[in-house]
Amino acid sequence: MDNEELRAPPPDNPAPPAPEGQVPESPSGQPQASQAPPVPPEPSQDSDDRTALVRYGHLNMFGEFRRPENITLSAGMKVIVRTERGIELGSIVLGHCEGSGDRGISRQHWQDYLCGCGMEESVSRNGQVLRIASPQDLIDQRHLDEAVGEKLSMCRKVIGQMSLKMKPVAVEHLFGGDRIIFYFKSEKRVDFRRLVRRLAKEYQTRIEMRQVGARDEAKLLADYERCGRACCCRSFLKMLAPVNMRMAKVQKATLDPAKISGRCGRLMCCLRYENCTYDQLRKTLPPRNTLVETPDGPGVVVDRQILTQLVVVRLADSRRIAYPLSEITIQPRRPAQDSDNDVERSAEKDSSDKSPSLEQSNQSNQTGRGKRRRKNRRRPNG
Strands 320-324 and 310-315: antiparallel
Q: Which residue has the higher pLDDT, 7 or 152?
A: 152
- Write down the pLDDT at residue 101: 45
> Of 7, 178, 192, 211, whose CA–CA distance to 83 is shortest?
178
Per-residue DSSP letters for 285-345?
SPPTT-EEEETTEEEEEEEEETTTTEEEEEETTS-EEEEEGGG-EEPPPPPHHHHHHHHHH
Neighbours of 273 (CB within 10 A): 16
- Write down the pLDDT at residue 24: 46
d(CA 289, CA 276): 24
Cα separations (Å) of 264 from 172, 191, 235?
Answer: 20, 25, 15
Q: Which residue has the higher pLDDT, 269 or 314?
A: 314
Cα separations (Å) of 76 from 85, 115, 149, 293, 365?
Answer: 22, 24, 26, 55, 89
Q: Given 3.30.70, 1.20.272, 3.30.110, 3.30.300, which CATH number is that of 140-212?
A: 3.30.300
Residues 44, 50, 51: CA angle, nearest 5 degrees: 145
Average pLDDT, the chain: 75
d(CA 320, CA 288): 13
d(CA 199, CA 196): 5
Query: Does the structure show a pLDDT above 70 at 190?
Result: yes
Q: What is the pLDDT of residues 104-124, one digit of tens each?
A: 556 667 677 666 655 655 677
- Write down the pLDDT at residue 168: 92
Domain borders along the chain are 47-133, 140-212, 231-279, 291-330
- The pTM for the full model equals 0.58
Half-sphere exposure of 350 (CA within 13 A, CB side): 6
d(CA 239, CA 118): 8
- Write down the pLDDT at residue 371: 56
What is the 8-class DSSP label of residue 17?
A: P
Residue 119, φ and ψ in degrees, nearest 5: -105, 10
Categorize the per-residue pLDDT at 76 as very low, low, confident or very high, splitting at 50, 70 and 90.
Answer: confident
Mean pLDDT for 31-54 is 51
Run of H or E including 91 = strand 86-94
Cα separations (Å) of 84 from 61, 77, 119, 209, 336?
Answer: 12, 21, 18, 16, 64
Which strands, in side-by-side order, build the sheet including 329-330? 320-324, 310-315, 297-305, 291-294, 329-330
Calculate the dihedral angle through the C-alpha atoms of 10, 11, 13, 19, rounding to the nearest 10 degrees: -80
Mean pLDDT for 40-57 is 61
Three-state DSSP class for 112? helix
**Contact 233/223 with Cβ under 8 angstroms?**
no
Strands 167-173 and 179-185: antiparallel
Three-state DSSP class for 25? strand
